[in-house]
Structure 1
């Protein structure tokens, strides 16, 4: 009989459907929001952004904040991602409302990465 292959999660990899909804915490362990989805470059396969759902009540009135993927660190103890940002800094960050998703082009990418002080690695 064939050995079962892990398709949801391994020591190093996680299925995209398991990332959606994962909690995002600040360094103090306070919940900031959750990952709504993440954006992957079609050619390189590299995740560029985690889109953080933040604010609102029960998802109503939430806004969406693209964070450069490399800003997130997975914490196995918390079972979620940790970012080195404050709630106040997040509230002033580039964001959009539901059904108003921006054009994820290089101009927008430079704006988002620039806000967070992360070098924009894409041409």
Structure 2
């Protein structure tokens, strides 16, 4: 059980407020925005942020699942910061916005392995 005396009310946020939040790299370049959050049904923990990236005016954009552990919220930016550059994202696992995508454990492991984080699966 978390120590409630150490939890700030500002650390909780509704999922619909996270959607649309900008994602930046360490250089301050905007990489994309959070379009969705993948949540574990049992624990309720956020496992992945699905970020849109690439394209121009919405054309050619792809979804990039990012392990939640790779994101750090930066209050000064009002967004999340990841230690990635655009080139890393260009080669990352993605899926098309208009694709009828089905998440599988194999896909999740591939995402986790790409970002070199412990796998959820």
Normalised to the residue count of structure 1, the TM-score between the two structures is 0.87
Q: Which runs of 5+ in 1 are unaligned?
A: 1-9
CA distance in 2, matches of 1:99, 1:121: 26
- Structure 1 ranges of 4+ moved more than 4 A: none
CA distance in 2, matches of 1:101, 1:68: 21
Within 5 A, what are the aligned runs for 1:90-101?
90-101=89-100
CA RMSD between the two structures? 1.1
Greater share of helix:
2
- CA drift at 1:39: 0.6
Deviation track 1:33-68 (CA, whole Å, cap 9, x = no partner) reads 110111111111111110110011222221000000
CA distance in 2, matches of 1:118, 1:102: 23
- CA drift at 1:101: 4.8
- CA drift at 1:121: 3.1
* Contact 2:71 2:80 (8 Å CA) reproduced: yes
CA distance in 2, matches of 1:90, 1:101: 21
Aligned length: 113
Q: Which runs of 5+ in 2 are unaligned?
A: 1-8
